[in-house]
Structure formats: structure tokens, C-alpha cells
Amino acid sequence: MIRVGNLDESIRFYTETLGMQLLRRKEYPDGKFTLAFVGYRGEADNTVIELTHNWDTGHYDLGTGFGHLAIEVDDVYKACDDIRNRGGKIIREAGPMNAGTTIIAFVEDPDGYQIELLGSKS
């Protein structure tokens, strides 16, 4: 789960820029928050991201304990091109990881969270 300042902007990033699906969204008026779940496939058999929007909070400082999310992709170079073409922010271009050969890249979501694109191990 990550807390987001602008839920619609975050959903747009994860669905339109990263190609995930909005799986469900529910408002909790008594608690003044909304939960949205995004992922590449349904929650029953796959990992998804819970986006939490507290209605009275428009911005969060990134925590020092959180590193990044990681998503495996077939072709990191192509994924970067696709994300860039959809308006996404690439913060580390595709290339071999430090001290290794796995191809990685990093993108940033609207709230500043980093998402690592990790080359598949096929």
C-alpha cells in the first residue's frame, strides 16, 4: 500500500503509463478515505498495489524505509520507450545494474515513488 496525494492522477499513471488495470475502487466516507487497487491481473492470483487517498491530505513525504516497487518486464528498453511516450518520467535509463548484468531502469510516479523495471530472467 502506498498513500497518494491525488488519487485520479495516480490511477492514471499506473493504468495509462504503466499499463495496469484499475481492479477496484471504493470510498469510505466515514473514514474520509478512498482505496483503489491496480495491477496487471486480478488480486486472487497476483500481487497488486493498493493506493490509499486520505481526503484531507494532498501530499506525503516519502518515508526513509521505503525503497521502491519492482515490476518485471520482458524488455526494459522498450518499456522505457513506451512509458516515456505516455508521458512517464524515467529517472534511470535502461541498462545493466550496478555490479551485475540484469537490465534495469527506474521510473517515478506522480507522488515521487520509484518503480524499478526489471528485465525478465528468461
pLDDT tens-place string over residues 73-101: 999 999 999 999 999 999 999 999 887 88
What CATH class is the domain 69-119? alpha beta
Tell me the average pLDDT across 25-33.
94
Nearest to 14 by CA among 47, 31, 38, 43: 38
CB proximity list for 12: less than 8 A, separation 6 or greater: none
pTM of the model: 0.78
Q: How many CB atoms lie within 10 A of CB 44?
A: 6
Among 16, 72, 93, 116, which one carries the catalytic annotation?
A: 116
**Burial (CB count within 10 angstroms: exposed 0-12, middle 13-18, buried 19+), residue 105:** buried
pLDDT for the residue numbered 66 = 81
φ, ψ at 83 (rounded to 5°): -65, -45
Query: Cα separation of 28 and 34, whole Å?
Result: 6
What CATH superfamily is the domain 2-54?
2,3-Dihydroxybiphenyl 1,2-Dioxygenase, domain 1 (3.10.180.10)
- Active site includes 116? yes
Q: Where are the domains of the chain?
A: 2-54, 69-119
